[in-house]
Structure 1
Amino acid sequence: MYKVLIVDDEILDLEGMRSFIPWAELGLEVTGAVNNGFDALALLERQPVDILVTDVHMPSMTGLELARKAREFAGRLRVIFVSGYQDFHYVKEAIALNAFSYVLKPMDDKELTDALRTVVQQLDQEKRRQQNEQAYREIAKNDYLLKLLEGAEAEEAAGVLQESYGFDRLGWPVRAAAVELDDLSWKLDPMPEHRQQEWFNRFYDSLVPLLTEARIRHVCKTSRRRIFVLIEDGVNLQALSALADRIQELNPFSVTVGVGEEAVNLTGLRRSYGEALEALSCKLIAGKGRVIRHGELKWDDALEQPSQTALPPEPLYTAVVNFDLVTVSDEIDRLFAAAAGMRSKLKIQYFVMHILLGLEHHLRAINESLANALQEETGGSPDVMLQLETIDDIRSWLRKRLFAAAEVIQRRKQKKSSKLVDEMIRYVKEQLHENVTLKEVADHLCFSPNYLGTLFKEVMGTNFSEYVIHLRMEKAGELLRDPRVKVYEVADRVGYRYMPYFSRQFKEVFGMTPGSSGETYNEARGN
C-alpha cells in the first residue's frame, strides 16, 4: 500500500478526509493526519510518504511552503492541494510545484477520491517502470560479469562494471565463489527445458535476499545450475557455510560452494573464479552440500592410476553369487579405497563399469546374468550412475545395485534348488522299495553326490540319508495299519532286506517294535 499524509488546520475537514475517503479500497494507508506544516515536516523526515494531501492556506506555514520544503528531501512525493481559495495566484504556485491536483472546498468526496485513484495509477506505472529498469539493469550486469569472468571483452566489461555498478568501490581483496546446485541433472530431468529454466530463475530470485543478508552484493547466473558470487573483504567465509545450510533447509536439494583465492583487481578476480571452479570439481571426492576452498584437497599422483593387482574384484564376485552381503559391502569399500586417487568422474565411472562387466562375465559362467538381475530393480540401469556427482553417491549406488542383484540371484538359486530337491524326493518315493542311495539319485539326475547332498541339507534342513529313513518309516507305519500285511512284507516294501535292522530303526523312530505297532493301531480302531 502507498503511504498518505493528510495536513489541514481545520479539524473537521481533517477528520472528514480520514473518515469518508475509502483509503484501503484505493490501496492507500494514512500514516499521519496533522493540523500544521511543522508536524507534517517532522513526520516526513521520520518515515517515507508517497502522497501528501494538504490544505493551502494554513497559519505559520502554508501548504505551498510545506510542499516546497518536502520536495527537498522527498522529490518523488505526489502533492494534492485542498483549498477554499480559487485565487489564480495559488493555482499558479501549485502548478509550479508540480502539484498533481488542486481540489476546492467545500470538497466533493468523489472528486478527491478520483484524484487519489489517478495518483495510485500513476504510482503503479512508475513502480513497474522502475522494476523493469532494475530487471534490465541486472540482466546487463549479469552479461558484463560473464564477459569479465570468461575473458570475452573483459576490458570493456570491467570498465562498465566500475563505472555503472560500483565495482570501483569494492572492498579489496575479493574472492570469487561458485555456487552449484547438487543433483540437478536427475532431479529436474523429468521437466521440459522451459520449466527447468523457470524453476532455476525462481530459486535464483529467492537466493538473492539470503546473499544480501550475508553482505554479498554482486552475483550473476553463469549457467542453469551455477551462480557466481563475489566475496568482498570483511565477509566471513563461514557465512557461506551458513548460507549453504540455510538453502538446504528451504529447498529439497543442497548446494556446493567452490571458493577461489584472494584477488586485488578485476584481472585477478577472473583467475579467482577459475580457482573456484577447480575447487567445485573436487565435489566428486570431497562430497556435496559444503564449502570447498581452492587447494583444500591435496592429490597424490601415485594414486591416480591404481594397479590392477591392487584391485582384484574376484572376492566381490564370489560374495555376490554366495549372497554374502557383508563381504559385498566390505569388498566395495576396499575397491573404492584403492581407487580413491582418481580425480576424474569419467575414470571412476569407467572403473565401476569395469567391475560390472567383470561380474557379468563371472555370472554367465553359472548361467546367470547381472543385466537381467538389475532389470528387476528400480534404478539399476548404469545410466542412473552417470548422473551421480560424488564418489560416495556412486559407491552407494553400486552397493545397492549389487545387493539387489545378489538377492535376485539368491532367489533364483533357491527356486532352482527347491525344484531339484523336489526331483530327488520324487525319485526316492518311486524307488522306496529299493535300497536307494544318494549316489543312485545323483547318477539319475546327472549331478555329483557331494553337490546334491549339500544342496539337500540347505533346502530341507536335514541330510539325505536321515530323510530317506524318515520316508521309509512313515510308509512302514502306514502299511502296518493293515492287519493283513505281514511285518516282513512291510520291510521289503520299504527297501529293507534285513529284518533286525528294520525293527531296530522302526523302534528308534516310533518307540515300539513293528509288530506291536500294528497291534496298537488295530486295538485303537476296535475301541
Structure 2
Amino acid sequence: MYKAVLVDDENYDLEGLRQLIPWNELGIEVVCSENRSLAALSYIDQHPIDILVTDIKMPVLTGLELSRKALDRNPNLKTIFISGYQDFEYAKEALNLKADGYLLKPVDDDEIVELLRKVVTEIEATRKKDDEQSRFTESFAFVKNDFLQHLLEGRINQDALPAFLARYPLDVPVGQAIAVVIELDDVLWKNKQAPDAGQSELQIAARTITEYIDNHRLGSWFAISPSQFAFVYSKEPSQIEETLEELHAFVSDRTGFTLTSSYGEPVEFPEGIARSYVQAKELIGNKMFIGKNRVIPPRLARLRIVKDAKDLNAILDEMFIGVANYELVKICDCMDDLFDNVRSFEHPVKVYSFSIHIASKLEAYLNTVNETYESLLGWGFEHLDVIRQFETVEDIKSWLRKTLFEISERLFVKKQSKSRRLIEPIERFIQDHLAEEITLREIANKFSYSANHMGFLFKEQTGESFNEYLVRNRMEKARILLQVPTLKIYEVADHVGYKSLAYFSRLFKEHYGITPGDYRKQS
C-alpha cells in the first residue's frame, strides 16, 4: 500500500476526498487527512509518504509552500494540487514544482481516480527500476569483491586478468600498489563477555571500517571474515602508516573495538599484489607476538629477538614459592622469565599450549597444599579455555599474572585465618589466667606446641613477643582495676599476676608513664 496525505482547509471538501475515492482499490492508504497545513507538515516531517494531495490556497502555509517543504524532505514525492481558483499563476507555479496533477474544484471523482492510477503506475515503475538497479549494484559489488579476493590470493589466470580489470576496475594508481589487512581486536573475548550484544557491535564496527575505506577512497576491499578485511591501498605509499593510524583512531572513537593492521611491501600492480598480500597476512598472524592495536609494517617481519632459554621447571618452582609466600614482585619476575621463552615460538598455537602447561603445573602445585582452582577461585580447570580467546602474548601474560596474584592473596588470607583460629583460644586462656604465673613453655605444652612455634605464632599474629603480649594485657587489666576504689593497689597487682608491688609499679610506669597511685588519683 502506498501512503497518502490529504490536506484541505475546507472540511467538507476534505471529507469528500477521504470518503468518496476508492483508495483501497487503488492500493493507497490515507495515513493523514488535515485541514491545517502546518499539522500536515508536522506529520510529513516524521513519517514517510508517497503521495500528497493538497488544496493550493490555505491560510498560514499554502499548498504550494507545503509541497515545496515536503519535496525538500522527499524528492520522489508525488504531488496533486486542487484549487477552486482558475488562476494561471497558481497553475504555473505548481508546474514549476513538478506537480503530478492539477485539478479544479469541484473535483470530478473519475478524473481524480484516473490521475491517482497514473501516479501509482509511475511509483511502481520507479520502484521496480530502483530495485533492479539495487540488485545490479549489489551483484556487481559481490562479483568485484570476489574478483579482488581471487586476485590477492593469486588464483586468477594472468591471461584473463586484463579482461577482469577492464570489467571490474580497482582504482589502483599506475605503478606500485600495497596490500593491507585489517583485523578487529578481541572479538572472541568481547563476544564471550556479552554474547547478546557482541554480534551487533561487531557488525557496526565492520560497517564503520568499510564505510571509512569507501568514503576516503583508500582502495577496493573485501571481507576475509566478519572481523578481518583486506584492501589494495590506492594512496601515496609513503603515507600508508599515517593513513592507517587515522583509520584506527576513527574506529576506536566510534565503536568498542580497537584495530590491528598490517601491510606488505609495495609491488608492481597487478602482477605482484598477491605477494604483498601474503606478506600482510603473515604479519597480521604475528599479532600474537608483536602486539595489538597498532600498525605492523613489513620491517617487523625481519625482527626476531630471542633470549637464552632458561630452565622452565626452575622458574616455575621459584614462581610457586612466590605464590605461596605472597611475593608479588617475585611472581612478576618469574612470569617475565617464562614468557621470554615464547619469543622463540613460530606459531600462536604453541603459545596457547605453553600457557595452558603453566596453568596445569599451577593446578598440580595447588594440590600439594590441598587447594584447587575450584576451592580458591570457584572455577574448574575447563575455565582455562579462556586462554585461547586472547590474541596476544601480553594479553595471556596479563591474565595469568592476575590469576596468580589472586591465588596468592587467597592463600595468604586462608593462612592468616587459620593461624588466627589457632591463637584465639590461647588468647582467651591467657585473659582468664592473668593472675597466675604464666610462661611461654607452659602455654605451649598446654596447647601441644613447641615453645619456638608458639613464640612464632604470637609474633606473626599480634606483632609482639609472648612476654610483650602478656605484660600489655596485664597492664590494661590493671588500669581497669585501679578505677575500682575498694581495691588496694597491692590487690590490683596480685589480680594481674604480680606478687611484688614495687615490680608492678615499675612496669606500670614504664607502660603508661605514671605510677599506679597517680593514675588512681587522676581517674
Instruction: Give the TM-score, by structure 1 length.
Output: 0.68
2:206 aligned residue (204, 207, 210): 204
- Contact 1:306–1:339, Cα closer than 8 Å, also in 2: no
* Secondary structure at 2:272 match in 1: helix
**What stretches of structure 2 of length at least 5 have no aligned partner?**
1-44, 46-61, 81-93
Cα 1:365–1:455 shift into 2, 3 Å: farther
- Alpha-carbon distance in 2 for matches of 1:494, 1:103: 113
Of 207-216 and 176-185, deviating more is: 207-216
Cα 1:204–1:147 shift into 2, 3 Å: same
- Alpha-carbon distance in 2 for matches of 1:113, 1:278: 62
- Alpha-carbon distance in 2 for matches of 1:192, 1:160: 45
- Contact 2:171–2:234, Cα closer than 8 Å, also in 1: no
How far residue 397 of structure 1 moved from its aligned partner, in angstroms, is 1.6
- Alpha-carbon distance in 2 for matches of 1:160, 1:121: 37
Cα 1:387–1:264 shift into 2, 3 Å: same
Cα 1:386–1:312 shift into 2, 3 Å: same
- Alpha-carbon distance in 1 for matches of 2:485, 2:269: 108
How far residue 337 of structure 1 moved from its aligned partner, in angstroms, is 4.2
Letter in 1 for 2:331: V
* Sequence identity percentage: 28
* Secondary structure at 1:222 match in 2: strand
After superposition, the CA RMSD in angstroms is 4.7
* Secondary structure at 1:249 match in 2: helix
- Alpha-carbon distance in 2 for matches of 1:124, 1:466: 95
> Which residue matches 1:461?
463
- Residues 1:134 and 2:159 are matched in the alignment: no
- Alpha-carbon distance in 2 for matches of 1:103, 1:473: 108
2:251 aligned residue (247, 251, 274): 247
Of 284-293 and 501-510, deviating more is: 501-510
Letter in 2 for 1:402: L
How far residue 243 of structure 1 moved from its aligned partner, in angstroms, is 1.1
- Residues 1:307 and 2:310 are matched in the alignment: yes
> Which residue matches 1:143?
146
- Alpha-carbon distance in 2 for matches of 1:298, 1:445: 68
Matches within 5 A, 1:118-197: 118-151=121-154, 158=161, 161-167=164-170, 171-189=174-192
1:351 aligned residue (354, 373, 378): 354
- Contact 2:178–2:273, Cα closer than 8 Å, also in 1: yes
Of 274-283 and 456-465, deviating more is: 456-465
Matches within 5 A, 1:93-492: 118-151=121-154, 158=161, 161-167=164-170, 171-189=174-192, 200-232=202-234, 234-235=236-237, 236-237=239-240, 238-300=242-304, 303=307, 306-308=309-311, 312-337=315-340, 339-375=342-378, 381-432=383-434, 434-474=436-476, 487=490, 491=494
- Alpha-carbon distance in 2 for matches of 1:114, 1:484: 116
> Which residue matches 1:74?
none
How far residue 27 of structure 1 moved from its aligned partner, in angstroms, is 7.5
Cα 1:294–1:436 shift into 2, 3 Å: same
* Secondary structure at 2:437 match in 1: coil
How far residue 276 of structure 1 moved from its aligned partner, in angstroms, is 0.7
> Which residue matches 1:78?
none
- Alpha-carbon distance in 2 for matches of 1:113, 1:124: 16
- Residues 1:19 and 2:38 are matched in the alignment: no
How far residue 252 of structure 1 moved from its aligned partner, in angstroms, is 0.6
- Alpha-carbon distance in 1 for matches of 2:422, 2:226: 58
- Alpha-carbon distance in 1 for matches of 2:359, 2:77: 69
How far residue 396 of structure 1 moved from its aligned partner, in angstroms, is 1.9
- Contact 1:336–1:395, Cα closer than 8 Å, also in 2: yes
How far residue 509 of structure 1 moved from its aligned partner, in angstroms, is 4.7
- Alpha-carbon distance in 2 for matches of 1:320, 1:124: 70
- Alpha-carbon distance in 2 for matches of 1:234, 1:258: 16
Deviations 1:438-496 (A, max 9, x none): 233334444444444333234323221111123344556677859689948963x6555
Deviations 1:305-335 (A, max 9, x none): 8231696234433333333334433443444
Letter in 2 for 1:19: L
* Secondary structure at 2:126 match in 1: helix
Of 131-140 and 471-480, deviating more is: 471-480
- Alpha-carbon distance in 1 for matches of 2:386, 2:264: 31
Cα 1:449–1:135 shift into 2, 3 Å: farther
How far residue 227 of structure 1 moved from its aligned partner, in angstroms, is 0.7
Of 446-455 and 170-179, deviating more is: 446-455
How far residue 277 of structure 1 moved from its aligned partner, in angstroms, is 0.9
- Alpha-carbon distance in 2 for matches of 1:478, 1:202: 72
* Secondary structure at 2:192 match in 1: coil
- Alpha-carbon distance in 1 for matches of 2:103, 2:223: 56
- Contact 1:374–1:380, Cα closer than 8 Å, also in 2: no
How far residue 25 of structure 1 moved from its aligned partner, in angstroms, is 4.8
How far residue 158 of structure 1 moved from its aligned partner, in angstroms, is 4.2
- Contact 1:375–1:381, Cα closer than 8 Å, also in 2: no
Matches within 5 A, 1:34-49: none
- Alpha-carbon distance in 2 for matches of 1:295, 1:484: 89
- Alpha-carbon distance in 1 for matches of 2:148, 2:203: 18
- Alpha-carbon distance in 1 for matches of 2:491, 2:66: 119
- Alpha-carbon distance in 2 for matches of 1:421, 1:464: 12
- Total equivalences in the alignment: 442
* Secondary structure at 1:178 match in 2: strand
> Which residue matches 1:8?
none
Of 108-117 and 417-426, deviating more is: 108-117
How far residue 196 of structure 1 moved from its aligned partner, in angstroms, is 6.2
How far residue 115 of structure 1 moved from its aligned partner, in angstroms, is 5.1
* Secondary structure at 2:408 match in 1: helix
How far residue 156 of structure 1 moved from its aligned partner, in angstroms, is 8.8
